[in-house]
Amino acid sequence: MEQYDWLTKAAKVLGLESSRKRTATQSLIMTQGDHEWRVEERDVVTDERFWIVSTIIDGIASAIYWAPLDASGDEDYYEYSLNPAVYLESRDSQAKGYAVGGGVFVIAGAVAASSEAPSLPEYYQKARRQLIDQGVLSYSEDKLVLIEHMLFDSPSKAACILTGATSNGRQLWKTFNGDPIARLPGYDD
């Protein structure tokens, strides 16, 4: 019974009065008032409450996105995670991101098509080549992978660069309930 009481308190902390802090290492930090509960990535955890919370967090994480991480600690991408989560799945490309201000913030790790369709407009061909030259899009085995988070100013630009083909990004990018991004405010005609 004590565990359930603790979970109730933890849920209140997570949902109502939690605060987020940026740290140099990957950490789980929950605060309430002047009390702080912290688990750093290098810590060996023996507190059974951590395993209960981590199980809950794992369940939540399978359904939603967490804020994108920046290993350097120089950038804070938290604001993007407050926007609707979106995804793109095409024959040779898969990506996840957030609908941000009429564009798409694409999460690093997105897989782009390794080839381009002849119909891809020249300016998108140049943009893809530039990202490859800069190492932002990098070949990994037979795949082309986005290795940095990237904000595209339109869903179609993101879709064309990732798919290597002329694409209507407003239809290809979907929210997690399956609706096209075009149904979100700021993305309609």
* pLDDT tens digits, 144-154: 999 989 999 99
pLDDT exceeds 70 at position 27:
no
- Ramachandran quadrant class, 135 (left: phi over 0; alpha: psi -120 to 50; beta: rest): left
**Same domain, yes or no, for 175 and 83?**
yes
- Name the pTM for this structure: 0.64
Looking at the domain assignment, is residue 27 inside a domain? yes
**Same domain, yes or no, for 103 and 178?**
yes
| Residue 52, both tokens | 């209960």
* pLDDT tens digits, 67-84: 566 666 677 777 888 889
pLDDT exceeds 90 at position 8:
no
Looking at the domain assignment, is residue 67 inside a domain? no
Q: Can you give the residue range of the structural domain that contains 50?
A: 2-61
Under a CB-based contact definition with an 8 Å cutoff, are residues 149 and 162 in contact? no
Looking at the domain assignment, is residue 69 inside a domain? no
What is the number of structural domains in the chain? 2
41 — pLDDT class (breaks 50, 70, 90): low
